[in-house]
């Protein structure tokens, strides 16, 4: 495995996905980080599924930019097929990049959807990842 592929897998592993999981991807466009997508597929051993997938998923990755519409709609769509306690990751352009979304906007959409922002970190050269989780007490 090349150094860049290894780094990509390490970043994908930070998302908490594991082998055999089905991960739904929403908001994909030609600016999405292909290395990160490939790394998520390598970690899970499955291809990412799109918004038309209608079976249960183990997690979701949402590529979201400031001109993509209503993030709450994306979150509700992801939760429709998401298994209980499955993570939702909002991937947004880093500050200073075209399409940047403020953390407060992500938090507002999460709250409206019954979720809350748990952590944010840089996941790829142009993208930040924000993990969303359900409100309430964990198990």
CATH number of 2-133: 3.40.50.150
Average pLDDT rounded to a whole number, residues 22-28:
97
How many Cβ atoms are within 10 Å of 102's Cβ, its own excluded?
11
Domain boundaries, the chain: 2-133
- Packed helices 71-81 and 103-112: angle between N→C axes, nearest 10 degrees: 50
The three-point CA angle 118-119-122 to 5° equals 155
Nearest CA among 83, 71, 138 for reference residue 111: 71
Average pLDDT rounded to a whole number, residues 87-94:
97
CA 125 – CA 108 distance, rounded (Å): 25
pLDDT at 139 over 50: no
Average pLDDT value for the chain: 91
CA 44 – CA 17 distance, rounded (Å): 6
With 0-12 / 13-18 / 19 or more C-beta atoms within 10 angstroms meaning exposed / middle / buried, residue 100 is middle
Q: 54-85: per-residue pLDDT in tens? A: 999 999 999 999 999 999 999 999 999 999 88
Sheet containing strand 23-26, edge to edge, reads: 23-26, 59-63, 88-93, 127-134, 115-124
């Amino acid at each position: 495995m090349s150094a860049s592929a290894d780094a990509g897998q390490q970043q994908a592993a930070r998302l908490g996905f594991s082998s055999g999981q089905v991960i739904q991807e929403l908001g994909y466009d030609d600016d999405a980080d292909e290395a990160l997508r490939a790394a998520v597929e390598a970690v899970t051993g499955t291809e990412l599924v799109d918004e038309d997938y209608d079976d249960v998923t183990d997690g979701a990755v949402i590529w979201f930019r400031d001109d993509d519409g209503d993030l709450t709609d994306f979150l509700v769509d992801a939760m429709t097929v998401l298994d209980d306690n499955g993570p939702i990751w909002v991937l947004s352009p880093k500050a200073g990049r075209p399409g940047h979304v403020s953390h407060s906007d992500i938090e507002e959409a999460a709250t409206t959807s019954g979720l809350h922002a748990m952590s944010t970190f840089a996941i790829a050269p142009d993208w930040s990842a924000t993990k969303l989780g359900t409100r309430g007490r964990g198990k």
